[in-house]
Chains A and B, each alone.
Chain A
């Protein structure tokens, strides 16, 4: 029993965040999931595990990532904001990590668990390819064979990352079922896993899936928020007023948010992908446009029809193109601790270009969604207020998509 009120003690013993989360998997996987949970608990208590993880994060990933005062973005907002308005914008620069996104934080943690469990083969799903690249990277680093499942549509729109994975020695398996995007890649990864439980470790790329994945991915990604908390206290002597992050499955967002959840003065905003608009059927905003349901091992908000059939998501950003969201976000949404909004493809493209031009940073399309909200909110907040936004990935992988959307040939 917990004696204090805390938002940081989830999930419960059965892996639930309120009514969300859980372990909705085929019976074949249950013993493995229970094993993983035991092993994770043991690893958490093991100073040697923490030491190895810290060492990898520091020397292989390049942590801590800087907390950067985005002076020109701040000025850009202030130039058109009402007098006295225009919050200070800080960026948590996880795009500077090895492999170019936050995904690697989780992958180093999970591969250490895989090794601990004696698994000799790695599988993963990927959307944008960032998680696939990060997984292929750690698999290469530890000499384990690796298969990445990727929707055929995504293989097409994320070619540079597909080639990166291959260079890193991974096998990339294009998945053609469904809309051939992230959801379908996850289905095929689960099918592979169920057939290879004896030797295979599934490195899930976001804070979703059956318990204990949402918890352990969150914990591994929480290095983002822990660092940001220390860094802002050092820089500003106080906590931020608002945290902003993009939401695909929700791992970069929960990683930034979780260490601040019990600081009542810190507001938080998760930004879902509104695709062509929330009033169309082409978006990926599961909280705004979905309902609770069960998919991929957990209960959470899902885009679905009245029969519970899952509907296809759409986003210009492959990393956000998923009809679900991690269960902890569903819970934080239901209790109102975190606010959730959305940004359209078009808005994200505009913010992408603005950040390139005024700050000298090419953001990935995923955090570009967060930047839409940052510009809006900063303009409404006072000048002495502080926003920390998660710059969770760099945009090199997206230049072809962006060129295409802008009608430019490269």
Chain B
């Protein structure tokens, strides 16, 4: 079983949702990222999403846009991201690591190159915001051949007609983007999340992780009651923005409070 499958199964056995945390790699600089990733794990995150910075993060709100800018301004390169992932895997042999970002930096050197590099770095899954199922061939075959899950996204606009397309070829987990919009803006009503997760479950047996707009333990708790995973991003990014190189401690504290809310 993959690390992702093992982790979601273990959380399920413990009767709780997995805590999935997102940070932008290289924010505030590549040297500071390993300590922040360790803080996520120490705080109780079950799955780590490592954001690959991009000049044009079209699906992100101001907080993550600025994180991308800080990272690139600090000189973060693709090689840094892969090194950060490799070292993370050495320190944390069992914690699933997912690379999340936009298509262009992923496909620049060719899908096979990226899939190989990601596998060698110990990456378990990849999320590409701007590769919908229709363009799966761009990266999907190469990733699957390398044994990496290409995570599909579902959204409030994914109606019954659309869901079979999304689930066809999906693996790892389904990332339910709970608001039609960009990251870090508004939060979805709990009732709409309940209904959406129930709808998704009719189309897949994969774990469902719910993200976008989830910032606090108070929000995470009820979502964790219906979903298999809860994704928190912008709230952590805000702490990194505030504390910079000294973010590890405050990040650990926030993550611990989120983890507690899911237990």
Contacts and interface: CB of A to CB of B under 8 A. Distances in A.
Bind each other: yes
Nearest to A306: B108
A194 B130 contact: no
Contact of A294 (B57, B103, B152, B177): B103
B135 interface: yes
Interface residues of A, number: 36
A24 B135 contact: yes
A308 B108 contact: yes
How many chain B residues sit at the interface, stated as a range, is 35 or more
B56 A26 contact: no
A309 B105 contact: yes
A265 B129 CA distance: 44
Interface of B is mostly: loop
B135 A22 contact: yes
Given A31-B158, A31-B162, A24 B131 contact: yes
B125 to A, nearest CB: 16
Contacts of A183: 56
Given A195-B180, A304-B104, A178 B157 contact: no
A31 B157 contact: yes
B54 A309 contact: yes
A187 B108 contact: no
Given A30-B162, A31-B157, A31-B158, A23 B104 contact: no
Interface in A297-318: 297, 302, 304, 306-311
A308 B107 contact: yes
Interface of A is mostly: mixed
A309 B55 contact: yes
Contact of B134 (A30, A296, A304, A306): A30
B120 interface: no
Interface string A169-208: 0000000011000011001001100110110000000000
Interface in B167-187: 177, 179-182, 185
A2 interface: no
A178 B56 contact: yes
A26 B108 contact: no
Contacts of B108: 293, 304, 306-308
Contacts of B102: 294
Contacts of B153: 26-27
A390 B158 CA distance: 43
Nearest to A293: B104
B156 interface: yes
Given A23-B134, A197-B157, A309-B54, A295 B180 contact: no
Contacts of A187: 56-58
A27 B182 contact: no
Interface of A: 14, 22-32, 177-178, 183-184, 187, 190-191, 194-195, 197-198, 293-297, 302, 304, 306-311
Given A24-B138, A190-B58, A307-B105, 11 more contacts: A22-B135, A26-B130, A28-B180, A191-B182, A194-B180, A195-B179, A195-B182, A198-B180, A295-B104, A307-B77, A307-B78
11 contacts: A14-B134, A23-B132, A27-B157, A29-B157, A190-B58, A197-B180, A198-B180, A304-B108, A308-B54, A309-B54, A311-B55
Q: Which 8 A-B pairs have the closest CB atoms?
A: A308-B108, A195-B181, A308-B105, A308-B104, A294-B103, A28-B155, A27-B153, A310-B55
